[in-house]
């Protein structure tokens, strides 16, 4: 963030506008609406936002939507088309293009490549592996034999 380059009162208004974008990320939001939240003209708001946050308001909104789409694709069984509309895109083509550009693969391919992670409080994320695989892998693992020559 380049908050130092922006006056304190302007930065507060930009944060307010950014919060507005975050709260309305699935809606069709126009630049003049967000600029009004910051009490600025659209052109001044756009320049100040980019200076403060190193991205345009549109790029910020797109990033939020892609992050939400990734979460939905990881956890829900919604069709890609429905995910597209859930996160605020109005066209499957533009969603697919932007998602591929940002993530590096198409939404359907992303869904197929990502495994559901099991999160336990206080532990690292781990793959959701059936217990029988864990049992058999431990059963077939070589057992370390003590070295009798150095034991005595």
Sign of the four-CA dihedral 97, 100, 106, 111? negative
End-of-domain residue from the set 9, 25, 54: 54
pLDDT band at residue 94 under the 50/70/90 scheme? very high
pLDDT band at residue 136 under the 50/70/90 scheme? low
Q: Give the tens place of pLDDT for each residue, 69-80.
A: 999 999 878 899
Higher-confidence residue of 152 and 80: namely 80
Residue 120 lies in a domain: yes
Mean pLDDT on 38-42 = 95
Q: Give the tens place of pLDDT for each residue, 104-115.
A: 999 999 998 885
Whether 87 and 124 map to the same domain: the answer is yes
Whether 87 and 115 map to the same domain: the answer is yes
Residue 42 lies in a domain: yes
Q: Domain tally for the chain?
A: 2
Residue 151 lies in a domain: no
Whether 69 and 125 map to the same domain: the answer is yes
pLDDT at residue 38 above 60? Answer: yes
Whether 70 and 49 map to the same domain: the answer is no
Residue 141 lies in a domain: no
Backbone dihedral region for residue 78 (phi beyond 0: left; psi -120 to 50: alpha; all else: beta):
beta
Chain centroid offset of residue 117 CA: 15
- The boundaries of the domain holding residue 7 are 1-54
Instruction: Give yes or no for a contact between 56 and 46, defined as CB atoms under 8 angstroms apart.
Output: yes
Residue whose entry in the numeric block shows the structure tokens 């592996």: 129
Whether 42 and 81 map to the same domain: the answer is no
Q: Bridge-partner residues for 117, per DSSP?
A: 127
Whether 79 and 35 map to the same domain: the answer is no
């Amino acid at each position: 963030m380049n908050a130092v380059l922006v006056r304190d009162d302007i930065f507060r208004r930009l944060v307010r506008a950014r919060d507005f974008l975050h709260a309305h990320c699935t809606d069709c939001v126009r630049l003049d609406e967000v600029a009004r939240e910051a009490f600025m003209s659209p052109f001044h708001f756009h320049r100040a936002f980019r200076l403060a946050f190193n991205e345009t308001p549109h790029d910020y909104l797109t990033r939020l939507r892609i992050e939400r789409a990734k979460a939905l694709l990881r956890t829900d069984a919604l069709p890609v088309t429905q995910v597209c509309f859930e996160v605020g895109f109005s066209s499957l083509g533009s969603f697919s293009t932007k998602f591929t550009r940002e993530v590096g693969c198409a939404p359907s391919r992303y869904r197929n490549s990502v495994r559901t992670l099991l999160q336990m409080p206080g532990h690292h994320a781990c793959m959701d592996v059936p217990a029988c695989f864990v049992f058999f892998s431990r059963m077939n693992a070589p057992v370390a034999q003590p070295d009798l020559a150095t034991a005595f």
